[in-house]
Amino acid sequence: MKIGIVGCAGRMGRMLLKQVMETEGCEVSGGTERNGSPFEGTDLGVLAGLSPMGIVATTDTQAVFAASDAIIDFTSPAATCAHAKLAVETQTAMVIGTTGMTPDDVAVVRSCSEKTPIMQAANMSMGVTLLCSLVEQAAAALTDDFDIEIVEMHHKHKVDAPSGTALAIGVAAASGRDVDLDAVSQRVRDGITGERKRGDIGFATLRGGDVVGEHTAMFASEGERIELTHRATDRRIFAAGAVRAAKWLGDKDAGMFNMKDVLGLK
């Protein structure tokens, strides 16, 4: 399977190149970078931390899409929306890991998925996919005597908050309670906020150092507290999940898929 990596010089892009190169049955068909990137022209093998492979990072996105069976995209929301439209034009499958997408961005991707297969997940790790299922189950089993709070920490370079994964955990909790997350979410608290409202789902964000990603869903009642935690220590887990998803998309028709579909958890 020929897999193209957009944003190939990024933290995840480099991991993805290496993962594709080391996965049996997969080969790197190309890698793109944004216009003006200092990495344009750098060999993809070198970006992956391996030997040169004779293909360099390019800004010719169209050519990479045309040469690929699937594209893996961990870039930025604006870039991902443009890439999804190109995936429809070139009939290329797409795996999207980009977070921080607005509802409008999500709508663009959804409409593209009517014409080409797209798998999107805010977190491609097997552990977080399972965590979301456990949170949904716990939220369904416990009454709103249990206050749900979601705490996350990431490295200091992360630009969006709360993390896409924290929001996905929030969606799972809301779905377990059969409520709409937007109606109950408390994404920031500052100053005299008043007492916590029963049924709210709260978020707290920590940023610092090189933390790959840590998420805890807390269910706190009077007298007891349950905490479900996932700690990522290596970005490789996201790259492995993304390449697994790209292979899984190989025989799929157009549609919108998530990591639960890929892992057969539904």
Angle (nearest 5°) at CA 130 between 128 and 132: 70
Question: Is residue 238 involved in binding ligand NAD (CB under 6 A)?
Answer: yes
Phi, psi angles (nearest 5°) of residue 31: -145, 135
Question: Is residue 171 involved in binding ligand NAD (CB under 6 A)?
Answer: no
Question: Quick one: how far is CA 242 from the chain centroid?
Answer: 9
Which residues are tagged catalytic? 154, 158
Question: Is residue 127 involved in binding ligand NAD (CB under 6 A)?
Answer: no
Among 29, 99, 185, 258, binds ligand NAD (CB under 6 A): 99
Q: Compare residues 10 and 30 and give the one whose CB is closer to ligand NAD.
A: 10
Helix count and strand count (H, E) for the chain: 10, 11
Among 4, 97, 176, 202, binds ligand NAD (CB under 6 A): 97
Taking the alpha carbons at both ends of the chain, their separation in whole angstroms is: 26
Question: Is residue 65 involved in binding ligand NAD (CB under 6 A)?
Answer: no
Q: Which residues contact 135 (CB under 8 A, 6 or more apart)?
A: 169, 172, 173, 176, 217, 228
Question: Is residue 12 involved in binding ligand NAD (CB under 6 A)?
Answer: yes
CA 223 – CA 147 distance, rounded (Å): 12
Question: Is residue 9 involved in binding ligand NAD (CB under 6 A)?
Answer: yes
Question: Is residue 13 involved in binding ligand NAD (CB under 6 A)?
Answer: yes
Residue closest to ligand NAD (Cβ): 10
Question: Is residue 74 involved in binding ligand NAD (CB under 6 A)?
Answer: yes
- Shortest CB 65 distance to ligand NAD, Å: 11
Angle (nearest 5°) at CA 107 between 103 and 112: 150
- 8 Å CB contact between 180 and 232: no
DSSP assignment, residue 43? Answer: B
Among 3, 4, 5, 10, binds ligand NAD (CB under 6 A): 10
In three-state secondary structure terms, 181 is helix
Among 123, 129, 185, 216, binds ligand NAD (CB under 6 A): 123
List interacting residues with ligand NAD (CB under 6 A): 6-7, 9-13, 32-34, 37, 74-76, 79, 97-100, 121-124, 238
